[in-house]
Structure 1
Amino acid sequence: MKTVFKSLAASLVLSLSSFCFAEVAVIVHPSAGFDSLTEDDVSRLFLGKSKSFPSGGQAVPVNQNEGSAARDKFNEAVCKKNASQYKAYWSQLVFTGKGTPPKDAGDDAAVKALVAANPNMIGYVDASAVDASVKVVFKLP
């Protein structure tokens, strides 16, 4: 009986660790006039400090839905904010009239579809969801 519990615990830990270390890819339309962005570039776009890509085109960031693993990892790694800090940050900007937060676009598939259909959009998905319909410009390990 103890070995069964140990086996279950070990498989749970392994599955959670692989889930926690999923790679997040920042994506843009394939026709974007650049091949990569820095972490600072991405952070500035998603925190409303910049509204255009380095190539000069308008940038429209889209988030995954609140509570998604990719969003939490992205916010903590790139924006340097946990979920409540990110929400408070945008609440203050909205209240003072200084910004509008990125729209919540859904899951990996929804974000990828929006970015693939619009050259101005930038989003992030689990790296395993990336295909030829989008271009990866930054990756979180």
Structure 2
Amino acid sequence: MKLFKTISRIAIAASLLIGAAVHAEVAVIVSASNGNGALDQDTISRIFLGKTSNFPDGSQAIPVDQTEGSASREAFNDKVLGKSSSQLKAYWSRLIFTGKGTPPKESGSDADIKALVAKNPNLVGYVDSSAVDGSVKVVYKF
């Protein structure tokens, strides 16, 4: 009976954690000094899929990804890019093979991405919205 209660408690705790991760809000960010205000999903998708290398104001846009497997990256890939991790790997493999593109650089966790983006007005990244502070500007949330 004790084993059953322990397993039940673990299952409840796990479902709460998964539920929290599913409902976490992700923010697409640029440097506070970046001249762009809000960006729409299509513009962000085009930047991260290598279809454009500029922000709407004409300045250079350099996307940075979180580490593969992070919750924010999975949410971003699904909700903004509309692709799974395996679909993105296949997409970038084709572009790399044909010499038509290179995937965004991976730059770590929320804190790593935020620090990089804050220092460079050309970078665009995404973080859990709880990591946002005055050093960066939110241009899209989902």
TM-score range relative to shorter protein: over 0.9
> 3-state SS of the aligned residue for 1:49?
coil
Q: Match of 1:41?
A: 43
- Unpaired runs of 5+ residues, structure 1, are none
> Amino acid of the residue matched to residue 121 of structure 1?
L
Gaps of 5+ in 2: none
- Residue 32 of structure 1: how far off its partner (Å): 1.5
Q: Which of the numbers 112, 115, 119 marks the counterpart of 1:113?
A: 115
**Residue identity matched to 2:56:** P
RMSD over equivalenced CA pairs, Å: 1.2
**1:19 equivalent in structure 2:** 21
Distance in 1 (CA, whole Å) between partners of 2:40 and 2:14 is: 35
Q: Secondary structure at the match of 1:135?
A: strand
Percent identity among equivalent residues? 56
Say if 2:31 is the partner of 1:6: no
**Matched residue pairs, number?**
140
Q: Secondary structure at the match of 2:83?
A: coil
Q: Which amino acid aligns with 1:14?
A: L
TM-score normalised over the length of structure 2? 0.93
Aligned to 2:84: 82
Instruction: Name the CA distance, whole Å, in 1 between partners of 2:139 and 2:126.
Output: 10
Give the counterpart letter for 1:97 in structure 2.
Answer: G
The aligned counterpart of 1:31 is 33
C-alpha separation between the residues in 2 aligned to 1:49 and 1:39?
13
Counterpart residue type for residue 132 of structure 1: G
> How big is the shift at 1:5?
3.6
